[in-house]
Amino acid sequence: MVDGIVAVVRAMVLYAVGAPFELEERPVPRPAPDEALIKVRACGAGLTVHHAKVGTSPATLPVIMGHEIAGEIVALGSAVQGLEIGDRVTPHFYLFCGRCRYCLTMREPLCENTGGYIGRQRDGGYAEYVALPARNLIKIPAELPYDAHPEQVAVICDAIATPYKVTRRARIRPLEDVLVIGAAGGVGIHMVQLARFFQARVLAADRGEAKLDAAKSAGAHETIDALVGPIDAQARKLTDGRGADVVVDFVASPETLQAGLAALAPGGRLAILSVHRDSRFNVDPLWMLNGEREVIGSRYVTRQEIVDALELVRRGHIRPIVTRIFALEEAEQAHELLGQGATIGRAALVMDSET
């Protein structure tokens, strides 16, 4: 029991892979000395969470999922410094150690002593309160619309920070042709905005008119309907046969990876973010060498990239696109839509502000 806070909180708990979430009342989590207790205001619901729910990514069950959190600190462990009760915060998704060679050089996703992920190996944000390590927490700038649109603020730490990092990993430069595969998805739609922000020409690939219209509204210059024909052939047609300078594949099936590679211009870079378990594809080393092509893995973000992503939104350069909002107890409905690939942009859960 933490002083001044309700004793019991509602949470959506996953007990088995593929099972529905169960609404439960639980004691308020008690923060460890290096942790903060956060009252959750909103939590993003995306494919990263969904993969863990259906077993594509491992999770330690039972668990409360959700890592794209916007919330307010209501209690602090005894050893926490630099944070105050009342601070509005958003977390880094990975349970990094903060001490290894990668953490000390701002490469938290490569941590040598990783404890896993928020919402998989420890409880996350599909709950009214969550306790998280203080080192994961980043303050939300006061100018962001936390009160009016907490769902927009919540998704920045992944859905905007992740494609922001890709602009750096894949070295997106002005005037380049950037092909985004899965351009209407929760992260893809923000990749479209970011590539445009970096003055690239954006070719958005997705399936069907509604998704391509959304990508166009987000700033895509050209669209490619994967239902119509091969993505690589369409991309070459739109680039006078040269191909794309950067391909970012958010679908990462064997087919899209192969098409993305085939669409690379000389000097081109293929960025891989998520993969299905057996997403292998063929690479011709001579073609790679002769064209100086690159395949790049880009794994989540650093804490600084979350700070930068918050700033990009604060300055109005990037607009969080959350198209579906659900109450906490509606998490299962959100994931039904995610499983069908039926969401455009991000979905999010917003907590009852009276709780």
Residues that bind Zn ion (CB under 5 A): 96-97, 100, 103, 111
Give the nearer residue to Zn ion in terms of CB position, either 104 or 228: 104
Contact 122, 115 (CB under 8 A): yes
Report the alpha-carbon distance of residue 46 to residue 44 in Å, rounded: 6
Structure tokens at 179: 């092909």
Which C-beta is closer to Zn ion: that of 103 or that of 218?
A: 103
CA 341 to the chain's CA centroid = 16
Write down the residue that tokens 């970012």 correspond to. 248
**Backbone phi, psi, residue 216, to 5°:** -65, -45
Strands 88-91, 69-76: pairing kind: antiparallel
CB-nearer residue toward Zn ion: 244 or 301: 301
Minimum CB separation from Zn ion for residue 115, in Å?
Answer: 9
Q: How far is the CB of 43 from Zn ion (least distance, A)?
A: 25
Q: Decide: 296 and 269 in contact? Cβ < 8 Å.
A: yes
Which among 224, 220, 191, 226 is positioned nearest to 207, based on CA atoms? 226
What the block records as the tokens of 104 is: 């000390």
Provide the minimum distance between the beta carbon of 64 and Zn ion in the complex, in angstroms, as a whole number: 24
Nearer to Zn ion by C-beta: 121 or 323?
A: 121
Q: How far is the CB of 331 from Zn ion (least distance, A)?
A: 31
Report which of 274, 64, 261, 54 is spatially closest to residue 162, judged by C-alpha positions: 274
Q: How far is the CB of 138 from Zn ion (least distance, A)?
A: 17
Cα 276 to chain center, whole Å? 16
> Nearest approach, Cβ of 110 to Zn ion (angstroms)?
8
Q: Please state, in angstroms and rounded to a whole number, the distance separating the CA atoms of residues 352 and 343.
A: 23
Q: Could you give the CA distance from residue 31 to residue 76 in angstroms, rounded to a whole number?
A: 7
- Of 35 and 87, the one with the shorter C-beta distance to Zn ion is 35
Whole-angstrom distance, CA of residue 275 vs CA of residue 278: 8
Give least dist CB 289 to Zn ion, A: 34
Identify which of residues 111 and 259 has a Cβ nearer to Zn ion in the complex. Answer: 111
From the CB of 99, what's the least distance to Zn ion, in Å? 6
Q: What is the DSSP letter of 184?
A: T
Q: How far is the CB of 8 from Zn ion (least distance, A)?
A: 35
CA distance 325 to 338: 13
What's the distance, Cα to Cα, between the start and end of the chain in Å?
16
Do residues 152 and 189 make contact, with C-beta atoms less than 8 angstroms apart?
no
Neighbours of 167 (CB within 10 A): 22
Q: Which is nearer to Zn ion, 300 or 326 (CB)?
A: 300
Nearer to Zn ion among residue 111 and residue 156 (C-beta): 111
Q: Which is nearer to Zn ion, 41 or 135 (CB)?
A: 135
